[in-house]
């Protein structure tokens, strides 16, 4: 990553941090990401909630494409979801035939479809799509940082396709250090303002953010959400789990003292320095490197 | 002045709770306070042995709680100091012989008579621990500079905070400054980096402790003992004095003694 990527018109494109786009298969460089359709909710996502599982089912081009993507997702999860009740949230109304197909697919994996709930965004999807194309055009013309920000919908828009930034998600906030022997379990995201000491456990259906040192055990995406992340100012967990994957820290403490984030990439948990605008320069200069935990 | 009920706990066994209770109790009594030490380790009592009072025990804590005797009859007067008493535990009973409410009532009764009530908590987190903390105002956590002890102490802090003892103080026991310097032992900052408590004192590892517990003479009375000096400082801090942490750089060799002779 030497010079900042430039778009076809020669305008500068400010790179968007990779982690903010969980739905896009990150193929080419940053420029490629922007010019491709950068829209969240491209792939089906399975999230845990109080009612059981929520299957967010965006239909972009065709039902078949979305169906295949959901089948691939379920196949990848193994038997992880067996016995769970699920609510399907498609981005548009489904026909009876389509609903039956989904029911059968889910039944194959031991999932019971209890409800189909088209997301509120179905109302907005058309206008949202228009807005997106307009913004992408703006980038190509102006290539300014402002346009880049508006064009990229926030990661929080997981809950439904194309809700406007900055819609957020609920998170449980713990304003203490979590001590050994304490267990925090929540069907959502968890943020700790303090340390998580060895012997403590944090279990979240969503993300886990520790504004301090994570030295205990963290399990994000505990209901099977592979998009969940674990981030900490100092990531030194006894054990780290995301969905069904487990890693432990490398035996030798390499003394990396920057905020780090762990997420699943290509079927493995990858730990890398947390990069957003403020420390991109250091990342670019290669002063910060990523590392992989042993599985 | 209001009475204070202190519980000395740790989680891990063998880190020095009983020794600390004996020395703090003795140290406070030496300063003229009226102190009672309560051994809450029912079934495995040690405080009487460490104080050298084991052959003066007639009644114990379980007898008091069951109404077999009056509280005054169970208190053992110390053989050296005025104003220092011991309420021993039962050796033939078990921890479930006492309930937390009974301990709280007992502590409230003791509060009327004494300036300080120092409770020796058993190791662990079960009934014995719950009994010991039931009547306490303040908690002192003793730990050694070892990973396992710190881990257990951390658990205890969580349990104490859940029970309303929100600001426990820390005593780090058996520290070896030469090993810390070499990096073979974790130091004060490492311990408190995990526990994050107010530090009440640091006690160096000292052979004189072994001698003192076997003889039943608390080391706080020994002028020449480093551990004794550390305990005297802790007692002063409990009394509200602002005493800086003593230097752990001991020079006890010949040259050291020579230096002391010339006041260097």
Query: For chain B (length 264 residues), average pLDDT per consecutive 10?
Result: 91 95 97 96 92 92 94 95 95 89 96 96 94 95 96 95 92 94 92 93 94 92 94 95 84 72 72
Nearest-CA distance B158 → chain A (Å): 6
Residues 161-190 of B with CB under 8 A from A: 161
* Residues in CB range of B163: below 8 A, 6 or more apart: B133
Nearest-CA distance B98 → chain A (Å): 25
Determine the Cα–Cα distance for residues B235 and B230; give it in Å rounded to an integer: 9
Tokens linked to A257: 């003292």
Tell me the per-residue pLDDT of B180-206, one tens digit each, with 9 for 90 and over.
Answer: 999 999 999 999 999 999 999 999 999
Contact A56/A119 with Cβ under 8 angstroms? Answer: yes
Region class of A130: left (phi > 0), else alpha (psi between -120 and 50), else beta? alpha
Mean pLDDT of chain B: 92
Tokens linked to A54: 């929520």
* Residues in CB range of B1: below 8 A, 6 or more apart: B115
Residue B151 and residue A179: Cβ atoms within 8 Å?
no
> Across the interface, which of A177, A195, A199 has its CB nearest the CB of B155?
A199
CA nearest to B147 within chain A: A198
The ipTM of this complex is 0.75
Q: What is the pLDDT of residue A69?
A: 82
Give me the tens of pLDDT residue by residue for chain A, a chain 295 residues long: 445 555 554 444 433 333 332 333 333 333 322 222 223 456 777 776 666 777 888 887 788 888 888 887 777 665 666 666 788 888 787 888 888 888 888 888 778 887 787 765 444 444 444 444 444 444 444 433 443 334 344 444 344 444 456 677 889 999 989 999 999 999 999 999 999 999 999 999 999 999 999 999 999 999 989 999 999 999 999 899 999 898 887 766 677 788 999 999 888 888 888 887 777 666 566 655 555 444 3
In sequence order, what are the beta bridge partners of A292? Answer: A270
In sequence order, what are the beta bridge partners of B5? Answer: B117
Beta strands in A78-229 (DSSP E): 85-90, 112-116, 171-174, 183-186, 189-192, 201-204, 208-214, 217-220
A238 touches chain B (CB under 8 A): no
Region class of A140: left (phi > 0), else alpha (psi between -120 and 50), else beta? alpha
B159 touches chain A (CB under 8 A): yes
A29 touches chain B (CB under 8 A): no
Determine the Cα–Cα distance for residues B13 and B98; give it in Å rounded to an integer: 21
Tokens linked to A271: 């730990």
Q: What is the CATH number of domain B4-261?
A: 3.40.50.300
Nearest alpha carbon to residue B58 among B43, B42, B77: B77
A101 touches chain B (CB under 8 A): no
Determine the Cα–Cα distance for residues B262 and B150; give it in Å rounded to an integer: 41
* Residues in CB range of B258: below 8 A, 6 or more apart: none
Kindly state the helix (H) or strand (E) to which residue B35 belongs, with its residue range: strand B35-39
Determine the Cα–Cα distance for residues A279 and A290; give it in Å rounded to an integer: 14
Q: Could you give the angle at the alpha carbon of A144 between the alpha carbons of A142 and A146, nearest 5°?
A: 120
Q: What is the pLDDT of residue A72?
A: 78
Determine the Cα–Cα distance for residues B15 and A115; give it in Å rounded to an integer: 58
In chain A, residues with a C-beta closer than 8 Å to the C-beta of B152 are 180
Alpha helices (runs of H) in chain A, residue ranges in sequence order: 30-35, 63-76, 96-108, 121-142, 145-151, 280-284
Alpha carbon of A244 to those of A196, A278, B161, B225: distances in Å? 21, 32, 33, 56
Q: For chain B, which residues make up each domain, given as ranges?
A: 4-261
User: Domains, chain A, ranges and CATH?
Assistant: 1-168 (3.30.750.50), 171-292 (2.160.20.70)
3-state class of A214 per DSSP? Answer: strand
Determine the Cα–Cα distance for residues A138 and A287; give it in Å rounded to an integer: 33
DSSP string, B161-182: HHTT----EEEEEEE-HHHHHH
């Amino acid at each position: 990553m030497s010079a900042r990527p430039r778009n076809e018109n020669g305008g500068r494109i400010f790179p968007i941090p990779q982690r903010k786009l969980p739905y896009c298969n990150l193929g080419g460089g940053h420029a490629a990401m922007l010019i491709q359709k950068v829209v969240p909710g491209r792939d089906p996502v399975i999230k845990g909630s109080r009612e059981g599982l929520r299957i967010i089912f965006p239909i972009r081009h065709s039902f078949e494409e979305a169906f295949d993507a959901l089948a691939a997702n379920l196949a990848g999860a193994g038997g992880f979801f067996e016995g769970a009740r699920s609510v399907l949230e498609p981005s548009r109304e489904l026909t009876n035939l389509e609903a039956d197909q989904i029911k059968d697919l889910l039944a194959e994996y031991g999932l019971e479809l209890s409800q189909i709930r088209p997301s509120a965004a179905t109302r907005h999807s058309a206008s949202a799509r228009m807005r997106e194309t307009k913004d992408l055009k703006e980038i190509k013309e102006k290539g300014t940082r402002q346009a880049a920000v508006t064009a990229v919908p926030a990661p929080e828009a997981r809950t439904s396709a194309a809700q406007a930034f900055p819609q957020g998600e609920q998170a449980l906030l713990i304003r203490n250090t979590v001590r050994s022997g304490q267990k925090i379990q929540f069907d959502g995201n968890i943020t700790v303002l303090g340390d998580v000491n060895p012997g403590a456990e944090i279990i979240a259906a969503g993300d886990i953010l520790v504004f301090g040192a994570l030295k205990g055990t963290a399990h994000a995406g505990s209901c099977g959400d592979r998009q969940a992340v674990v981030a900490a100012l100092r990531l030194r967990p006894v054990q780290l789990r995301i969905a069904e994957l487990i890693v432990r820290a490398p035996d030798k403490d390499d003394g990396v003292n920057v905020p780090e984030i762990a997420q699943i990439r290509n079927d493995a948990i990858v730990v890398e320095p947390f990069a957003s605008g403020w420390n991109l320069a250091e990342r670019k200069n290669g002063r910060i490197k990523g590392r992989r935990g042993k599985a | 002045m209001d009475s204070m009920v202190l519980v000395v706990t740790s989680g891990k066994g063998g880190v020095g709770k009983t020794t600390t209770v004996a020395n703090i109790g003795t140290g406070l009594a030496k300063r003229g306070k009226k102190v009672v030490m309560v051994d809450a380790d029912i079934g495995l009592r040690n405080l009487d042995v460490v104080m050298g009072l084991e052959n003066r025990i007639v009644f114990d804590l379980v007898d008091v709680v069951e109404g077999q005797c009056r509280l005054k009859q169970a208190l053992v007067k110390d053989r050296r100091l005025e104003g220092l008493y011991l309420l021993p535990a039962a050796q033939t009973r078990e921890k479930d012989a006492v309930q937390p409410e009974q301990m709280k009532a007992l502590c409230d009764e003791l509060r009327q008579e004494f300036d300080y009530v120092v409770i020796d908590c058993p190791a662990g987190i079960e009934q014995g621990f719950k009994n010991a903390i039931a009547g306490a105002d303040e908690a002192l956590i003793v730990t050694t500079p070892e990973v396992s002890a710190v881990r257990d102490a951390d658990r205890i802090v969580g349990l104490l905070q859940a029970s309303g003892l929100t600001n426990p103080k820390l005593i780090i026991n058996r520290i070896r400054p030469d090993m810390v310097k070499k990096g073979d032992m974790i130091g004060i900052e490492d311990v408190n980096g995990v526990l994050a408590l107010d530090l009440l004192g640091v006690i160096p590892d000292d052979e004189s402790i072994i001698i003192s517990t076997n003889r039943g003479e608390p080391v706080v009375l020994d002028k020449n003992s480093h551990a004794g000096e550390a305990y005297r400082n802790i007692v002063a801090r409990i009394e509200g004095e602002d005493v800086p942490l003593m230097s752990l750089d001991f020079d006890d060799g010949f040259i050291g003694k020579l230096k002391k002779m010339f006041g260097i």
